[in-house]
Structure 1
Amino acid sequence: MAGERDLGRLLAGMTPERVPGEYVFVVSPEPGVPAGLHPVATVGEDEGLTLVLTREEADRAGLRHDYLAARITLRVHSDLAAVGLTAAVSTRLAEAGISCNVIAGYHHDHLFVPAERAGEAMVTLRALGSDRPF
């Protein structure tokens, strides 16, 4: 099923939701995902495979990390060809001085923001969604 493409509708319906837990970005110590790990996302880079894991899982596996993030899922079903959602969200968070790493899934966009600023990020995102008419 195709997702929404209209930016106004995307912003009005994005319904940000904080996913429980803390998340970290690590580089896999071996090619591929090590046995026993269950990343929420992977990104292949020339330098290695980036894994996005819960902090708990990374700590249990002894994987070093230095960025502790909260995960916020935008519950609107955005079409992968939609234009402007990532730009609008990241711009508003940048204006608030909040870094944001975005990973797009088939159905939703997932934002990783500094864990200590998660509450502020949620307020900022809710305000962005409410100030955009359908």
Structure 2
Amino acid sequence: MPAPAHERDLGRMLAGLEPRLRPGTYVFARAEALPRGLRPAVTVAEDEGLTVVCTRAEAEAAGLEYGFAAAWITLLVHSALDAVGLTSAVSAALAEAGLACNVVAGYHHDHLFVAAGQGERAVEVLQTLSAAAAGTAD
């Protein structure tokens, strides 16, 4: 079945970002294998082992070692995986505001992980970026 059309135009992607902050705190943990019952948001197989992004509570319950604690923001725009410029524009806007982010592209949406406690500020920055792209900035 053919995939639905996803947006490739940078201006339209930025104008339609619709950043949504998910509740909870997520952590980047490491594991030899995925613990039974864990429902990760993201997994990445690396040479050194498995990176698992899950809630802090899940990581602690599974006894996983973790580092970075994050807020999770989903960009509701349906961006194409081969679209050019979205990650760069979003990262640059957040960096200018002094916010680091880790970007993960899913089939339907892009997901941003920013430092825990910085989610609301990051959403504000992204809403400002989106409004400027839409031509509705104050």
Q: TM-score range by the shorter chain?
A: over 0.9
**Structure 2 CA distance, aligned partners of 1:44 and 1:91?**
27
**Runs ≥4 in structure 1, deviation > 2 angstroms?**
none
Q: Secondary structure of the equivalent of 2:13?
A: helix
Find the counterpart in structure 2 of residue 45 from structure 1. 46
Q: Secondary structure of the equivalent of 1:36?
A: coil
Find the counterpart in structure 2 of residue 99 from structure 1. 100
Find the counterpart in structure 1 of residue 8 from structure 2. 5
Q: CA deviation at 1:66?
A: 2.2
**Structure 1 CA distance, aligned partners of 2:119 and 2:17?**
16
Q: CA deviation at 1:50?
A: 0.3
Counting only pairs closer than 5 Å after superposition, residues 108-127 of structure 1 correspond to structure 2 as: 108-127=109-128
**Structure 2 CA distance, aligned partners of 1:83 and 1:49?**
28
Find the counterpart in structure 2 of residue 88 from structure 1. 89
**Structure 1 CA distance, aligned partners of 2:6 and 2:130?**
17
Q: Gaps spanning 5+ residues in structure 1: where?
A: none
Find the counterpart in structure 1 of residue 30 from structure 2. 27
**Structure 2 CA distance, aligned partners of 1:93 and 1:33?**
31
**Structure 2 CA distance, aligned partners of 1:9 and 1:132?**
8
Q: CA deviation at 1:96?
A: 0.8
Contact 2:14 2:130 in 1 (8 A): yes
